[in-house]
Structure 1
Amino acid sequence: MMKQKCLWILTIFLAAFLAGCASGSKEPEKIRDLEFTVVCEDKLPKELLQMINERKSERFEIAFSDAGYTYFCRGFGMQQTGGYSIKVNAVYQTDGGVVLDTEFIGPDKSENVPQSPSYPYIVIKTEEVELKKRAEKGAPVK
């Protein structure tokens, strides 16, 4: 009888534990796509450009609000050559923040690229949104 009771309690505990694990790994629910534009360096607010220049040698992510817009920046640190590009697959709002799905693309093997270091980054401008931000595939941004 006692052995059966312990087994029953263990089964309930295990079921509760597994249910908790399953709900924790759920992707954030997409609320809506955000309209965005990719902004070139000469159109950035000066304060944001300064922040980018201070961080560009390392990988970085910045969220910055100014004048009714939010700028999301993602940098990929120093690269040995030029020729890199960044593709934006999606920008959307979830119940937990904003997801930026980007793809870092290296230079084509047949492409003649500058042999000096480069600091590829992208700046995406959206309407002003709450500054909870999430990275690609919904992983939290640090």
Structure 2
Amino acid sequence: MKIDINKYFHPGIILAFFYIMMFIAGCGVEKTDESRVQDVDYCIVEENDIPEELMAKIEEKKAADLKMVFENDDFVYIVRGYGEQETGGYSIQVTDVFLTKNALVFQSNLVGPAKDEIKNAVPSYPYVVLKIQNMDKNVIFE
């Protein structure tokens, strides 16, 4: 009795199996150790000092929640925006920037206008740009 192997092992199923196995083998999860190793020196970049290419990307994406890293020569620019706000008067407070064993952690908060502040009825798009030395680390936004 002859067994028809195609009846049991369709070529599409075999290919799908191998693709799934290659995907699983190629993916890994790196556990992030958030223990502080050292503080990171940074400077907040004024709008007119932001590289043109980065500024174009910010303008394109500033209406939504924005977390971006941009590398340029020896520096890394970390961008954090909080999307469209109904009024002006918002600012961003950088609370911490530090290195862990395998990442750079960036922490910030959106600070709203003071209650007694006269609010501008025009929407605003608060964001902050930090400049640091390139450390070849992934950035974690918190």
Query: What is the TM-score of this pair, normalised by structure 1?
Result: 0.74
Matched, 1:34 2:36: no
SS at match of 2:99: strand
Out of 112, 119, 122, which is 2:125 matched to?
Answer: 119
Alignment: residue pair count: 112
Out of 69, 74, 85, which is 1:79 matched to?
Answer: 85
Out of 117, 130, 140, which is 1:134 matched to?
Answer: 140
Q: CA deviation at 1:47?
A: 0.7
Partners of 1:45 and 1:88 in 2: CA distance: 21
Could you tell me which residue of structure 2 aligns to residue 107 of structure 1?
A: 113
* Equivalent position amino acid for 1:55 in 2: K
Out of 44, 52, 55, which is 1:46 matched to?
Answer: 52
Determine if contact 1:63/1:131 at 8 Å carries over to the other structure. no
What is the RMSD of the two structures over their aligned residues, measured on CA atoms? 1.4
Where do 1:12-27 residues align within 5 Å?
A: none
Higher-Rg structure is 2
Could you tell me which residue of structure 1 aligns to residue 97 of structure 2?
A: 91
Listed as ranges, the gaps of 5+ residues in structure 1 are 1-23, 137-142
* Percent of pairs with identical residues: 33
Stretches of 4+ aligned residues off by more than 6 angstroms: none
Partners of 1:51 and 1:131 in 2: CA distance: 21
Partners of 2:33 and 2:98 in 1: CA distance: 13
* Equivalent position amino acid for 1:92 in 2: F
Determine if contact 1:99/1:133 at 8 Å carries over to the other structure. yes
Query: What is the TM-score of this pair, normalised by structure 2?
Result: 0.74
Partners of 2:102 and 2:111 in 1: CA distance: 28
Determine if contact 1:72/1:125 at 8 Å carries over to the other structure. yes
* Equivalent position amino acid for 1:117 in 2: P
* Equivalent position amino acid for 2:39 in 1: D
